[in-house]
């Protein structure tokens, strides 16, 4: 089941909320939430529930075993983590190494996300940041809470554990969650899905400006798609009392590549930082090892998105820019006007997205060459002009909403107009919600891009 479906919005979510709020104690609420989450997971493919339950049991037992074991602790740690990695590998990457074709097109929903949550749990127990969870209900809820299982955010156990045992439920939090959910829905339905049409419309365009708009539309589609999903996930979680950190912080406003990835898919970046980069030594090593660490992290970031050379290339390409910024460009970029730094970052990121969305490296280079005038039939053709003029309003609003201006305006309106500001904003959100629903009824919505990773 996905968040942007009518069945979720009008059936699953309201019934879940009613059941949850009617249940008296927090522990019983957790049991209700666990049952709902398992149902959510099994909705499209009940067989995958077996995989999820086995994974939960494995990690539950492993957590306790790691904390108790002294004699064979290393062996227990290695086998516990390897089990998770092997399952992920079999589903996502096996066809990269076996000589025959294996159907890896049906990766269970959220596999990468719940596996990373489980590894973070084990990692925190190994480093003694947390105690193992002995209550199977609470542990299962941490792994499979439906607000985050399908595409994150990847919440660490240390962050979620206190909330499993005690969390505030109040009207303000519920309202904030609901607004965030609608905001995410608007990002997905009104922006991401419309930018998808621009992207599709220009896929065979052979002009320079067409290639640029093609790439820009993908950049905006991906941002609104995944940040919209994240807003919805965080909003839903808030309605059930959970507070998760933001996953996107206006990344296209960044002035360096390093900053971009501190603002883009924050929870994944933090995961790689805490469970790969720092255990490898982080930046407290000599330059050679530092370069190795960065390249390993970016290689893994790339391959996490899929078993394809284009993703690996994308990851390493960005890793090289992170290294270049660290060793050569940092001082220069700091001296440049902010505007130039923004342009630099956007240019590098856009080129990166070309590798990300292209089916092959050759096709990525074809698009890039076209963007810079090589092999393009014209500078701008009628197809480009048609798409550009048809979607000009969307492009302007898309760029506007990718900046923090709207969020700042909303805060100013709350401060200046107090209750009136809240009422006006609520009306605006209700109107946009109705528009989204009407678009969804017309079946013009698409599944989330990041659910494929």
Binding site for another protein (CB under 8 A): 47, 50-51, 54, 57-58, 61-62, 64-65, 68-69, 79, 83, 87, 90, 100-103, 105
| Shortest CB 65 distance to another protein, Å | 5
Residue 42: CB minimum distance to another protein, A: 14
- CB closer to another protein out of 119 and 395: 119
Peptide bond into 122 cis (omega under 30): no
- Cβ at position 204, least distance to another protein in Å: 15
Q: How far is the CB of 100 from another protein (least distance, A)?
A: 5
**Of 72, 250, 305, 342, which residue is the catalytic one?**
305
Judged by beta carbon, residue 60 or residue 146, the one nearer another protein is 60
305: annotated active-site residue: yes
| Per-residue H/E/C for the chain | CCCCCHHHHHHHHHHHHHHHHHCCCHHHHHHHHHHHHHHHHHCCCCCHHHHHHHHHHHHHHHHHHHHHCCCCHHHHHHHHHHHHHHHHHHHHHHHHHCCCCCCCCCCCCCHHHHHHHHHHHHHHHHCCCCCCCCCHHHHHHHHHCCCCCCCCCCCCHHHHHHHHHCCCCCHHHHHHHHHHHHHHHHHHHHHHHHHHHHHHHCCCCCEHHHHHHHHHHHHHHHHHHHHHHHHHHHHHHHHCCCCCCCCCCCHHHCCCHHHHHHHCCHHHHHHHHHHHHCCCCCCCCCHHHHHHHHHHHHHHHHHHCCCCHHHHHHHHHHHHHHHHHHHHHHHHHHHCCHHHHHHHHHHHHHHHHHHHHCCCHHHHHHHHHHHCCCCCCECCCHHHHHHHHHCHHHHHHHHHHHCCHHHHHHHHHHHHHCHHHHHHHHHHHHHHHHHHHHHHHCCCCCCCHHHHC
Query: Which is nearer to another protein, 68 or 408 (by Cβ)?
Result: 68
The tokens describing 199, both together, are 């992207």
Shortest Å, Cβ 128 to another protein: 19
Characterise 306 by phi-psi region: left (phi > 0), alpha (psi -120 to 50), beta (else). left
We find the least distance from the C-beta atom of residue 311 to another protein, in angstroms, to be 18
By C-beta, is 68 or 418 nearer to another protein?
Answer: 68
CA distance 351 to 86: 32
Among 70, 386, 368, which Cα is nearest to 198's? Answer: 386
Q: By the 8 A CB rule, do 66 and 122 touch? A: yes
**Shortest gap between Cβ of 444 and another protein (angstroms)?**
22
CA 300, CA 305: separation in Å to the nearest integer? 9
* Residue closer to another protein, measured from CB, 103 or 128: 103
Buried b (16+ CB within 10 A) or exposed e, 337-348: eeeebbebbbeb
Q: Which is nearer to another protein, 57 or 441 (CB)?
A: 57
Min dist CB 134 to another protein, Å, is: 12
Of 79 and 200, which has the nearer Cβ to another protein? 79
- CB nearer to another protein: give 69 or 259: 69
Nearest approach, Cβ of residue 56 and another protein (Å): 10
How many whole angstroms separate alpha carbon 282 and alpha carbon 35?
Answer: 40
Q: By C-beta, is 46 or 373 nearer to another protein?
A: 46
Residues annotated catalytic, as ranges = 305
């Amino acid at each position: 089941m996905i968040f942007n479906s009518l069945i979720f919005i009008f059936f699953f979510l309201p019934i879940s909320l009613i059941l949850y709020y009617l249940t008296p104690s927090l522990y019983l609420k957790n049991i209700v939430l666990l049952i709902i989450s398992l149902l959510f997971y099994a909705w499209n493919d009940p067989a995958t529930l077996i995989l999820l339950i086995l994974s939960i049991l494995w990690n539950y037992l492993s957590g306790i075993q790691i904390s108790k074991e002294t004699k064979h602790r290393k062996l227990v740690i290695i086998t516990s983590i390897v089990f998770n990695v092997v399952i992920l590998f079999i589903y996502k990457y096996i066809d990269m190494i076996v000589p025959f074709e294996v159907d890896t097109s049906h990766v269970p929903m959220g596999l990468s996300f719940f596996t990373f949550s489980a590894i973070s749990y084990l990692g925190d127990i190994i480093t003694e940041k947390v105690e193992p969870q002995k209550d199977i209900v609470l542990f299962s809820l941490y792994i499979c809470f439906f607000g985050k299982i399908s595409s994150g955010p990847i919440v660490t156990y240390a962050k979620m554990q206190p909330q499993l045992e005690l969390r505030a439920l109040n009207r303000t939090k519920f309202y904030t969650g609901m607004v965030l959910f609608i905001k995410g829905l608007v990002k997905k339905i009104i922006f991401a899905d419309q930018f998808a049409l621009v992207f599709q419309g220009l896929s065979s365009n052979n002009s320079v400006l067409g290639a640029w708009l093609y790439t820009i539309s993908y950049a905006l589609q991906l941002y609104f798609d995944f940040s919209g999903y994240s807003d919805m996930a965080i909003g839903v979680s808030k309605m059930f009392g959970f507070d998760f950190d933001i996953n996107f912080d206006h990344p296209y406003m960044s002035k360096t590549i390093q900053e971009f990835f501190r603002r883009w898919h924050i929870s994944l970046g933090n995961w790689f930082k805490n469970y790969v980069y720092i255990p490898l030594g982080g930046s407290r090593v000599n330059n050679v090892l530092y370069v190795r660490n960065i390249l390993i992290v970016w290689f893994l970031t790339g391959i996490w998105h899929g078993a394809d050379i284009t993703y690996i290339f994308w990851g390493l390409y960005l890793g090289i820019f992170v290294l270049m910024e660290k060793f050569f460009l940092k001082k220069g970029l700091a001296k440049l006007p902010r505007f130039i730094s923004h342009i630099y970052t956007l240019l590098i990121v856009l080129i990166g997205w070309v590798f990300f969305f292209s089916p092959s490296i050759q096709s990525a280079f074809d698009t890039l060459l076209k963007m810079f005038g090589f092999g393009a039939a014209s500078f701008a053709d009628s197809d480009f002009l048609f798409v550009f003029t048809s979607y000009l309003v969307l492009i302007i609003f898309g760029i506007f909403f990718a900046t923090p201006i709207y969020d700042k305006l909303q805060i100013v309106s709350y401060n200046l107009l107090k209750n009136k500001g809240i009422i006006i904003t609520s009306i605006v959100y209700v109107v946009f919600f109705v528009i989204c629903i009407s678009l969804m009824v017309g079946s013009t919505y698409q599944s989330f891009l990041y659910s494929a990773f």
